[in-house]
Amino acid sequence: MDVLIIGGGPAGLSAAEVASAAGLAVVVAEAKPSLTRKFLMAGKSGLNLTKDDPAFADAYPGGAWLRPYLEAFGPDAVQDWARGLGQEVFTGSSGRVFPTAMKGSPLLRAWLARLQAQGVEARTRWRWTGWEDGAHLFDTPEGPARITPRATVFACGGASWARLGADGAWTAPFDAAGIARHPFEPSNMGFDVAWSPHMARWSGQPVKAVALHAGAQVVRGEFVVTATGIEGSAVYALSRAIYAGAPLVLDLAPDRSVEVLADALARPRGKATMTSHLRKAAKVEGIHAALLREAGPLPADPAALAARIKSCAVAITGARPMDEAISVAGGVRAAALTPDLMLKSHPGTFCAGEMLDWDAPTGGYLLTACFATGRAAGQGVVRYLA
């Protein structure tokens, strides 16, 4: 073979597509029984391919080094690529881009058919275990194997969703070889909260029309109360700040000022209960009222109660385990790579996808960067072998 690609996710298949289109003989080795398991799981609720955002490349925390790859294959290119596979796309109100079919399986079938037509061979249940005298070692259904390709692309993923293949097992051989990387940390994850018993009835319920504050960051959106804490897109957007220790505070009435709320709450409530008064005067009810009470006894003073509504603390006790995170931060450092994503210490060996040192927000950023770095590594392989 000319090119061995270790990892059959979006980054690995992107590298395979580019290298095989250049006429190279490509083999994709995947540890799991089938390819792109995480891709398919993400697509079950609507495959968010990318985001129509003019400042797309600016959204990655500390990811300025990714810009050349994202400019070469960004949101517009991702959409054109999907259409080229016969999958129309549409852009939602938030700018997120989805296949019209919503699911990932039709797109994947078309993609795999193209790769097969270009001669790409897939070997599943092939788990990479390290290097020995320049050869790659694998555990396979037929027993141990040694492979010595002309070039290699690692696209092994991060360290979340191990059941789908991204278990971080590749890090031990990389560390033994002295390849510089930042340790993995969870990203886009939920958090634990020691809810009192009265919150049990709200488990699984969405919290909408709120603003979340963590440090200097503010996000308007929604999240979900779970039995053990909080999850959801607005929480994921603040996860790095919360993980770093910033307190999480909710504004339960983001469209009303504290003065307006205080005036409304100061009106006589007569025989009405506090629950009724909050609902009528401040429009705080249901799960919003439950969160307000969870933050402590309600102040009797209208101004203090209004301030509580505008700044309702959530007592985070810890982050959910990394294996539950949507993605991870950390990975092979940019300084260890050439601009073609080749390891400086291992000529002919390239890296791509989530195993690289970057952190993507949710909303199509993760998948687009996997496509972009996979294609860049594939192009690097073509140039290297030429």
- Structural contact between residues 72 and 369, judged by C-beta atoms closer than 8 angstroms: no
How many other C-beta atoms lie within 10 A of the C-beta of residue 133?
7
pLDDT of residue 43: 64
User: How many residues does the structure list for the chain?
Assistant: 386
Angle between helices 10-21 and 365-385 (to 10 degrees): 30
Give pLDDT tens digits along the chain (386 positions): 899 999 999 999 999 999 999 999 999 999 999 999 988 887 677 899 999 999 999 999 888 999 999 999 999 999 999 999 999 999 998 899 999 998 889 999 999 999 999 999 999 999 999 999 989 999 999 999 999 999 999 999 999 988 888 899 999 999 999 999 999 999 999 999 999 999 999 999 999 999 999 999 999 999 999 999 999 999 999 998 999 999 999 999 999 999 999 999 999 988 889 999 999 999 999 999 999 999 999 999 999 999 999 999 999 999 999 999 989 999 999 999 999 999 999 999 999 999 999 999 888 999 999 999 999 999 999 999 99
| Alpha-carbon separation of residue 261 from 252, 267, 312, 314 (angstroms) | 11, 10, 14, 21
Neighbouring residues of 58: CB distance < 8 A, sequence distance ≥ 6: none
Measured between alpha carbons, how far is 112 from 142 in angstroms, rounded to an integer? 24
pLDDT of residue 363: 86
* Three-state SS at 240: helix
The string of pLDDT tens digits covering residues 229-268 is 999 999 999 998 999 999 999 999 999 999 999 999 999 9
Q: What is the CA radius of gyration of the chain?
A: 24
The string of pLDDT tens digits covering residues 189-200 is 999 999 999 999
Would you list the domain boundaries of the chain? 3-186+325-385, 191-319
**Domain 3-186+325-385 belongs to what architecture?**
3-Layer(bba) Sandwich (3.50)
* Three-state SS at 117: helix
